[in-house]
Structure 1
Amino acid sequence: MGVLFLNPTCTVVSKFPRSTDRCGWCRISTGYSWKNKKKNSVYFQSNGNVTTSGGLSSLWTKRLMLTPTIGKIDRGSCLINAGSMALSSNEKTEDEILEKDDGIGILKFLRGKQFFITGATGFLAKILIEKILRTMPDVGKIFLLIKSPNKDDAMDRLKNEIINEELFKCLQEIHGKSYQSFMLSKLVPVVGNICESNIGMEEDIAEFVAGEVDIIINSAANTTFDERYDVALNINTKGASRLISFAKSCKKLKLFLQVSTAYVNGERQGRILEKAFCMGDSIARETITSMAPSTSLPLLDVEGEIKLALDSKEAFQDHAVAQKMKELGLERARVHGWQDTYVFTKAMGEMLINCQRGDIPTVIIRPSIIESTYSEPFPGWIEGNRMMDPIILNYGKGQLTGFLADPKGVLDVVPADMVVNATLAAMAKHGEAGKRAEMNIYQVASSIVNPLEFQDLVRFFYEHFSSSPYMDSKGRPIHVPRYKLFSSMDDFSKYIWGDAIQSSKQVVEATSSEKLSRKLEIASKRSMEQAMYLADLYEPYTFYRGRFDITNTQKLKEELSEEEKKSFGFDDDGSNNLVLWKRPAHSHGKTWGSRETEMNIYQVASSVGNPLVFQDLARFLYEHFSSSPYMDLKGRPILVPRYKFFSSMDDFPKYIWGEAIQRSKQVVEATSSEKLSRKLEIASKRSMEQAMYLANLYEPYTFYRGRFDNTNTQKLKEELSEEEKKSFGFDVRSINWQHYISKIHIPGLRKHVIKGRGMRGY
């Protein structure tokens, strides 16, 4: 089933928003300044534009009104905005300004374009939509594929999850009372599902959309590292294939843009170039040593993997299918050289796009770890728990004060608004008619130009929570210790279990209820198990040895005009640029891919230009939760120790179990209730097991040895005009990691995700 929506009420905009050059929230120029305030009405006519007595040009438009009939759509007398001669603050028409642009021409490109976006209610897509509407209100219709049972539900989701979202408050201020009508005149909900054939749209609806859109953006994805294999394949791999098939039916299509991830490069190490995948590419086959014969290496057959998932699902018993499918996904990913199910299925999605796209111009944007906005539409906006956020929040609450990570390793993080700006710049560069049908890839990352080391990251955590601690249930600040980083799973395990045991003892000593003591013990165990689970899950990232090359992205940045740099900048330029170049983890003497290919790949990452090292990340965490601690149920601040990092899985479990044992003893001593003591003990054990699971799941990332080269992305950035750099900037070298983590990301996480719970002063 599929239903297309267009707002049938927006024939006349009776009043424009109040005269303003800048939005009060983001301080970005809107491009409009209506000087004449006496008469600001605009009339829609069919005989051309006329100027009202107030001195403004009227809009000559056609209105597009779809009236559903039985099996057909009446596309009769209806309207699409044709633009206006809006005056800017310097008394020049917008057309004149755009003609003078000497950069990529982002605003000129966006004007009048019609978009089709999947994953529209997701974190990144909403920021992209907001940016387009704020910087170019004369954009055409933006069709949003929304998973809904019917048109009414789709409209409700559009209003509740997009239009009424806090993210759009800058647009609300700009448009005032006409905000709702403006949004409904631009955003068109389309009932559908990328996991279904024909992406879930009815035939006539699909035909109409195919005849309208200029740009398709696939932002739909399942980002859970250990998702069920069948589920992840259906959206990340098969979904991409379904959408590129739909793209072939789009008559006006100028560009297909796929939002991917820099970590599709799997377990590659050293400088990782912006290189496209071909069908059957296997990271394991690339990295194998000469000691293993090539005949023993697994071949990657995408269709075979899809069939394997379906067959396995049928074979597993109903009660075990969910867990077994999760295990199968991780197993298949690691066999072929990827960290987890998420990046493996995204890589296979890229392969299918490259294989099936034909002559469709295609751009793939590969961001590294996307976190909260750096500046636009306002700093710190975030939605949901991103990759490092569970670690941050648990630290602030005093529940997880150490983690498995290489202290000098780099966490490749990039703010969401920089990814959006790079996306718009790449779109404008490659989306004009007449462009060659190439595959252009941009990596948006920080690990080369502005690396963020874990030791700095956790220092930022500590500084933040030290000055802005969480509050406990009694309103008291939660004091956090400095974050500990462990280089081995054994050390981390000992730490976690030791902490759990200590906590259990404290609970036992604090209560005389055996039943309560037992419950608390069980909760503590679960907490520790969660910590171990996270450590295992994140290990490929906390020990990641690659750096993402951003050459394409840098070249893109250089093409921006000065004005574009102000509005669309994405330069993550830090003071410690290339500080890790001398380290073996950075290069290993390897360079993946060749720059001589005609297919251009853009990796958006920070590990080369602005690396975030784990020891810094832990320091940031400790400092944050020391100053701004969580509050416990009694309103007391939760004090957190410094974060511990363990460099091996051997060390981490010892740490985890040691913590658990210590907490268990404390629980036993704190309560006379055997039943409560037992419950607390079980809770503590579960907590430790979860910690071990996470450590194992994250290990490919916390010990990741690759660095994403983003030369292409850097070149793309250089093509931006100065104005485009202001509005669409994506230079990750400009990020000050301490300020971003401590003052933007964590406060945003606590405000928008936790919604102020356990906090004071937020």
Structure 2
Amino acid sequence: MDISDVQFTRKTILVTGATGFLAKIFVEKILRVQPNIKRLYLVVRASNPHVALQRLHSEIFGKKLFKIQKEKWSEKFSTFLSEKVVAVAGDVSLHNFGIKDQILIEEMLEEIDIIVHSAATTRLDERYDVAMATNTVGAYNVMNFAKMCSRIEVLLYVSTAYVSGEAELILEEGFHMGQTLKSPLKLDINLEKKLIEEKLSELKAQNVNERTITSIMKEFGTIRAHFHGWSNTYTFTKSMGEMLVTNMKGNLPLIITRPTMMIGTHSQPFPGWIEGVRTIDFVFVEYFKGALTSFVGHPKTTIDLIPADMVINSMIIALLVHSKSNSSNSLIYHIGTSLGNPIKLSDIQDIMHCYMTKEPWLKNSGKSGAFYEKFTFNPSYTEVHEFPQNKRSRLKRIINIYRPYLHFSGIFDDKNTEKLRMAIKGVGSVERKFNLDPKSIDWKDYLMNVHFPGLIKYSMQPKM
């Protein structure tokens, strides 16, 4: 498809999970490059619309992520937001997001053209009941809502590349209902929900305290995920969400995006913005603090990292292509770098050491870069004995969570995403505004001059 311009003029978009890392960047990009959209409905968990609006301003628009727009609009920024953005107090785990205002629901059902479902709990070892409610039942509720929207053009469901398990080349293929990663087994989502209810009833009958319930429900999720072949509760419940939306969609155009490990922005709205300590960033942060010089992982492992703005660019181009195509087919897009621009853990070891010797972060401790040991990824890492007793159990848990990813041998095929890149190739203004080419990343330059400084600025310093 020839794309000469990217426009969602007068379109209304619903975004779930609006306060999440990825959704914030999506909202920023849409408002910055598509100011002629009609409206953005942003669903946030809140007890009422007033609290929802407060959360939007403190957790989204109050962030430095929006500094370019604040400079552009100056004192008119609040007015611009009030004209374009509607705060929706809702919860995806509930029918119609639990919205009690029937007039608002009717307005949304009449107006919405595009839905971006990014609400999720991304904690890898989340409580099974919590992950099921948000990641699986949430997907079901969003699809039900989408099918009631009279103008709906496309639903985009944000999943994760790691739903597919491990293979030499992992294709952009969906699940059929009941499929597991252990082929003789059949997955019954209703049975899983029933098992959760039974487990919770059993624990409540035993008068168990909330902390113990949390611990047991986390373990229960891991057990059920492993039973069906997934490495953790997150990928297991996201897989079930994929199955539901694919099975339910009917004629509704459906996009499933599967990003790999998301890290800070590559270039837009500016380089290096990130929020929180995400996936492998734990390793970087602990090394920069001088707390960790080794961790589980094989140096030859290709680690699939993708800057978050490239994920957003892929999502927007996919939405545009599908909203123009009038096709009811669903497509899955792997958004990663392992095929087009791979980087190994051994490369990351070298870059981390280079960064710390060039620019040691802990200057006030009296250390110079020469004193920093080179970080190593060790396949049989178990060295928790060197940590204080109170940190050992946390580190053991983190090791167990990360082990599958840092020994992961699969490469993610991205034929569908390549078609998106081809659709904008040669269209200068679009290519510049929506860079989604992993080959454009210079890993050493990006990590040393963009990601690491961004991580220190936004995730390691207080009140950033």
TM range (shorter): over 0.9
Partner Cα distance (2:2, 2:28) in 1? 22
In structure 1, stretches of 5+ residues that fail to align are: 1-101, 286-296, 501-523, 563-720
Cα deviation for residue 459 of structure 1 reads 1.7
Of the three residues 181, 185, 188, the one matched with 1:301 is: 188
Asked if the contact 2:274/2:455 (under 8 Å) is kept, the reply is yes
Aligned pairs for 1:37-52 within 5 A:
none
Of the three residues 720, 725, 731, the one matched with 2:437 is: 731
Q: Deviations over 1:612-631 (max 9, x none)?
A: xxxxxxxxxxxxxxxxxxxx
Alignment of 1:361 onto 2:67: no
Equivalent residue number for residue 373 of structure 2:
481
Asked if the contact 2:155/2:255 (under 8 Å) is kept, the reply is yes
Equivalent residue number for residue 468 of structure 1:
359
Partner Cα distance (1:264, 1:105) in 2? 34
Equivalent residue number for residue 252 of structure 1:
151
User: What amino acid maps onto 1:546 in structure 2?
Assistant: G
Equivalent residue number for residue 452 of structure 1:
343
Aligned pairs for 1:368-517 within 5 A:
368-432=260-324, 435-471=326-362, 479-488=371-380, 492-493=381-382, 495-497=383-385, 499-500=386-387
Of the three residues 213, 232, 238, the one matched with 2:131 is: 232
Asked if the contact 1:298/1:335 (under 8 Å) is kept, the reply is no
Partner Cα distance (2:244, 2:180) in 1? 14
How high is the TM-score relative to the length of structure 2? 0.95
Asked if the contact 1:450/1:733 (under 8 Å) is kept, the reply is yes
From the superposition, tell whether residues 103 and 526 of structure 1 become closer, same or farther in structure 2 (CA, over 3 Å): farther
Asked if the contact 1:280/1:299 (under 8 Å) is kept, the reply is yes
Q: Deviations over 1:597-648 (max 9, x none)?
A: xxxxxxxxxxxxxxxxxxxxxxxxxxxxxxxxxxxxxxxxxxxxxxxxxxxx
User: What amino acid maps onto 2:263 in structure 1?
Assistant: E
Partner Cα distance (1:205, 1:486) in 2? 54
Local SS of the residue matching 1:441: strand
The structure in which a higher percent of residues are strand is: 1
What is the CA RMSD across the aligned residues, in angstroms? 1.8
From the superposition, tell whether residues 232 and 472 of structure 1 become closer, same or farther in structure 2 (CA, over 3 Å): farther
Cα deviation for residue 722 of structure 1 reads 3.0
Q: Moved runs in structure 1, 4+ residues, more than 6 A?
A: none
User: What amino acid maps onto 1:755 in structure 2?
Assistant: Q
Cα deviation for residue 177 of structure 1 reads 2.4
Equivalent residue number for residue 711 of structure 1:
none
Asked if the contact 1:561/1:723 (under 8 Å) is kept, the reply is no
User: What amino acid maps onto 1:482 in structure 2?
Assistant: K
User: What amino acid maps onto 2:74 in structure 1?
Assistant: G
Q: Deviations over 1:174-228 (max 9, x none)?
A: 2222222112211110111112222111233212111111000001010001000
Equivalent residue number for residue 754 of structure 1:
460
% identity of equivalent residues = 36
Partner Cα distance (1:466, 1:130) in 2? 35
Alignment of 1:194 onto 2:79: no
Local SS of the residue matching 2:275: coil
Q: Deviations over 1:622-678 (max 9, x none)?
A: xxxxxxxxxxxxxxxxxxxxxxxxxxxxxxxxxxxxxxxxxxxxxxxxxxxxxxxxx
Equivalent residue number for residue 715 of structure 1:
none
Equivalent residue number for residue 151 of structure 1:
49
From the superposition, tell whether residues 153 and 473 of structure 1 become closer, same or farther in structure 2 (CA, over 3 Å): farther
Local SS of the residue matching 1:410: coil
Local SS of the residue matching 2:292: coil
Cα deviation for residue 238 of structure 1 reads 0.4
Local SS of the residue matching 2:22: helix
Equivalent residue number for residue 577 of structure 1:
none
From the superposition, tell whether residues 255 and 105 of structure 1 become closer, same or farther in structure 2 (CA, over 3 Å): farther
From the superposition, tell whether residues 206 and 486 of structure 1 become closer, same or farther in structure 2 (CA, over 3 Å): same
Aligned length: 457
Partner Cα distance (1:452, 1:352) in 2? 34
Q: Deviations over 1:368-409 (max 9, x none)?
A: 011100000111100111101221111111111101101000
Equivalent residue number for residue 112 of structure 2:
213
From the superposition, tell whether residues 334 and 724 of structure 1 become closer, same or farther in structure 2 (CA, over 3 Å): same
Partner Cα distance (1:496, 1:351) in 2? 39
Asked if the contact 2:11/2:113 (under 8 Å) is kept, the reply is yes
User: What amino acid maps onto 2:407 in structure 1?
Assistant: F
Local SS of the residue matching 2:87: strand
Aligned pairs for 1:262-341 within 5 A:
262-266=161-165, 268-285=166-183, 297-316=184-203, 317=206, 318-319=208-209, 320-341=212-233
User: What amino acid maps onto 1:526 in structure 2?
Assistant: N
From the superposition, tell whether residues 106 and 157 of structure 1 become closer, same or farther in structure 2 (CA, over 3 Å): farther
Aligned pairs for 1:610-625 within 5 A:
none
User: What amino acid maps onto 2:461 in structure 1?
Assistant: K
User: What amino acid maps onto 2:267 in structure 1?
Assistant: S
Asked if the contact 2:357/2:368 (under 8 Å) is kept, the reply is no
Cα deviation for residue 496 of structure 1 reads 3.5
In structure 2, stretches of 5+ residues that fail to align are: none
Alignment of 1:532 onto 2:396: yes
